[in-house]
Amino acid sequence: MEPGTSEFAAVMNRLERLEIQNRRFKQIGALALILLGSVFLMGQASPPRTVEATRFVLKDANGKSRTEWTASPSVAALIFDDAAGYASLVLQVDDGNPSLILYKDKKVLWKAP
């Protein structure tokens, strides 16, 4: 056996181990970049938006008002309208006093204080 052959085999073994180690470092680096990128992108998500108003109106496909949600300093009300556009159910809080009113044909059918 020649002295150069064992040195060559040792160098080749060391080179093979370094290549394996280099591949692992590349994989770990790529994983770290992906994780950092995903954390950065999650931080870019827009915060939840808040819609503020004193009155919301929900209309049907024909453009008629069917539900209205109003608020003022003394009254908060949720009003459901019938197909003709008249109030059929009103749920409100007036100066801290809740009430529920049912209407039929524009007349009070039932009222809870």
Q: What is the mean pLDDT of each run of 10 residues along the chain (113 residues)?
A: 76 94 95 90 78 92 92 93 91 93 90 85
Task: Decide: pTM greater than 0.75.
Answer: no
Q: Which residues contact 97 (CB under 8 A, 6 or more apart)?
A: 113
Q: Supply φ then ψ for residue 94, to 5 degrees.
A: -115, 110
* Nearest of 97, 104, 20 to residue 112 by alpha carbon: 97
Across the strands, what pairs with 92? 77, 99
pLDDT of residue 80: 95
pLDDT of residue 37: 87
pLDDT of residue 78: 96
* Nearest of 86, 92, 88 to residue 113 by alpha carbon: 92
| Residue at 59: amino acid letter | K
pLDDT of residue 84: 87
Q: Where are the domains of the chain?
A: 1-48, 55-112
* Nearest of 101, 70, 109, 103 to residue 85 by alpha carbon: 103
pLDDT of residue 4: 67
